[in-house]
């Protein structure tokens, strides 16, 4: 036979109070309280808890984010500069395929600074004669 | 919200106020609310050790955000409930059984029989859906009204009333009439 709503409510209240009383009788574990909070947060923000509460900005995360952005931009620039550019065979801008086994082929010592005139920022591939294997 | 500063004396404790330092204010909140929060967590998750861990996380978060929290007890309550939600999610994921915490049985006398009756009710409570369990505990243990329960659980007051009604019926169906 099921218990009515009011009876269930009455028994629930009694059970909750009894449970709470047992918890109180056992006491609360001491390490439930966060202790040494100043030490806990020094590593977190590089400042003591007291300094944090004065409203000073947390500079470490900002610096870290800026460094990450800068590294990402630099990496993107490197990728863009090293990507092979499509040029017509025999054009002045052609440069050899970045294949390790392809021998380096020049007919004369380079007379200008490294670079084959494609305008690539980081391109240092010397000019190769037209018709050379790319 | 009032917290006791001196024995028998209530003073208003507002985070960041000049009247009570931040650390002292936190101490007051800790002294006044540590036990109720552990009691709430035990009722929600059933396991004492787990409940204390949840409460520790809640107080740690409160301390971290002390300057921006207007209502520390409200923050703690929501934080404890959210922490219990995480516990339940981990239980479902791990499919592990956490034994329900048993209060001290005492000697072979009336307190033992009373304790068994209450354990039966708590076991039935823990068989209810999570939302129904939360609503019943907040209503009948924390004595919150429908509006306060709605704010804590981020639901409407009508949902609270409907959930309470369903929960009471469900609890009654789980309990045996003695």
* CA B122 to centroid of chain Cα atoms: 14
Does B43 contact A28 at a Cβ distance shorter than 8 Å? no
Confidence of residue A99 (pLDDT cuts 50, 70, 90): low
pLDDT digits (tens, 9 = 90+) for A42-85: 334 444 444 444 444 556 666 777 788 888 888 888 888 766 65
Confidence of residue B72 (pLDDT cuts 50, 70, 90): very high
Does A23 contact B35 at a Cβ distance shorter than 8 Å? yes
Is pLDDT above 90 for B56? yes
- pTM above the 0.80 mark? no
Confidence of residue A119 (pLDDT cuts 50, 70, 90): low
The pLDDT score that the predictor gives to residue B143 is 93
Of B39, B118, B177, the CB nearest to A2: B177
The CA distance from A106 to A103, in Å, is: 10
More confident residue, B23 or A111: B23
More confident residue, B40 or B103: B40
DSSP assignment, residue A122? S
From the list A60, A8, A122, A93, the residue with the least C-alpha distance to B166 is A8
The pLDDT score that the predictor gives to residue B1 is 37
CA distance A114 to chain B (A): 57
Secondary structure (DSSP) of A28-95 = --GGGS--SHHHHHHHHHSS-HHHHHTT---HHHHHHHHHHHHHHHHHHHHHHHHSPPP--TTSTT--
Which residue from A minimizes the CA distance to B106? A22
At B176, is the secondary structure helix, strand, or coil? strand
Are B102 and B95 spatial neighbours (Cβ–Cβ below 8 Å)? no
The pLDDT score that the predictor gives to residue A88 is 53
Is pLDDT above 60 for A100? no
Does A14 contact B171 at a Cβ distance shorter than 8 Å? no
Confidence of residue A10 (pLDDT cuts 50, 70, 90): very high
The pLDDT score that the predictor gives to residue A22 is 85
The CA distance from A78 to A68, in Å, is: 15
Confidence of residue B111 (pLDDT cuts 50, 70, 90): very low
Of A15, A16, A53, the CB nearest to B22: A53
Is pLDDT above 70 for A98? no
Is pLDDT above 70 for B36? yes
Provide mean pLDDT across the span B16-45: 82
The pLDDT score that the predictor gives to residue B49 is 87
Does A29 contact B52 at a Cβ distance shorter than 8 Å? yes
Q: Which residues of B touch A47 (CB under 8 A)?
A: none
Please determine, for the modelled complex, whether the ipTM score is greater than 0.90.
no
Is pLDDT above 50 for B165? yes
Is pLDDT above 60 for B76? yes
DSSP assignment, residue B98? -
Does B177 contact A1 at a Cβ distance shorter than 8 Å? yes
Provide mean pLDDT across the span B125-131: 91
The CA distance from B103 to A19, in Å, is: 7
From the list B132, B124, B135, the residue with the least C-alpha distance to B177 is B124
The CA distance from A33 to B39, in Å, is: 15
């Amino acid at each position: 036979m099921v218990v009515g709503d009011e009876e269930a409510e009455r028994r629930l209240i009694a059970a909750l109070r009894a449970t709470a009383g047992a918890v109180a009788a056992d006491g609360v574990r001491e390490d439930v309280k966060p202790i040494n909070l100043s030490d806990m947060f020094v590593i977190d923000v590089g400042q003591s808890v007291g300094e944090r509460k004065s409203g000073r900005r947390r500079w470490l995360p900002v610096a870290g984010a800026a460094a990450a952005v800068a590294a990402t931009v630099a990496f993107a620039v490197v990728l863009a500069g090293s990507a092979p550019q499509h040029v017509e065979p025999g054009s002045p801008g052609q440069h050899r395929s970045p294949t390790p086994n392809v021998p380096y082929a020049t007919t004369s010592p380079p007379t200008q600074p490294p670079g084959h005139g494609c305008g690539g920022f980081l391109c240092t591939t010397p000019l190769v004669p037209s018709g050379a294997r790319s | 919200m009032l917290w006791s500063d001196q024995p028998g004396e209530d003073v208003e404790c507002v985070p960041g106020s000049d009247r009570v330092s931040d650390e002292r204010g936190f101490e007051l909140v800790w002294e006044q609310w540590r036990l109720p929060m552990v009691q709430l967590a035990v009722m929600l998750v059933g396991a004492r050790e787990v409940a204390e861990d949840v409460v520790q996380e809640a107080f740690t978060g409160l301390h971290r955000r002390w300057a921006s929290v207007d209502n520390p007890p409200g923050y703690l309550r929501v934080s404890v409930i959210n922490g219990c939600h995480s516990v339940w999610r981990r239980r479902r994921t791990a499919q592990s059984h956490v034994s329900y915490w048993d209060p001290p049985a005492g000697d072979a006398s009336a307190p033992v029989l009373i304790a068994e009756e209450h354990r039966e009710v708590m076991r039935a409570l823990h068989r209810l859906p999570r939302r129904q369990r939360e609503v019943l505990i907040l209503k009948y243990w924390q004595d919150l009204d429908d509006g306060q329960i709605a704010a804590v659980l981020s639901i409407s007051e009508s949902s609270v009333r409907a959930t309470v009604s369903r929960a009471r019926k469900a609890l009654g169906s789980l309990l045996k009439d003695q």
